[in-house]
Amino acid sequence: MMAKIVSNPHIMKGKPVIAGTRITVESILEKLSAGESRIQILEAHPQLTDEAISEALAFAARALKSDVVYPVNQ
């Protein structure tokens, strides 16, 4: 079963988080992009699962499929 991504204006200012935690999708993506491995993330956050990391990535991919223009600084 995949981890559920939730958003609540009273938790982390409404940023998407892994249900039952205060760990944002954003923070998982930042850690991965900084070169942290899934194992390192799981060791630092024992309440996460590998499925939660996969769900965060899937959530981000779905979000980027929307018709929104994202400015890119070069």
Tell me, yes or no, whether 73 lies in a domain.
no
* C-alpha–C-alpha distance, residues 11 and 6, integer Å: 10
pLDDT, one tens digit per residue, over 29-55 is 999 999 999 999 999 999 999 999 999
**What is the dihedral sign for C-alpha 15, 19, 22, 26?**
negative
Q: Tell me what pLDDT residue 74 has.
A: 67
Tell me, yes or no, whether 74 lies in a domain.
no
Reply yes or no on whether the pLDDT at 10 is more than 60. yes
Tell me, yes or no, whether 58 lies in a domain.
yes
Domain span holding position 52 = 5-63
Total tally of structural domains belonging to the chain: 1
- In this prediction, residue 64 has a pLDDT band, given cuts at 50, 70 and 90, of confident
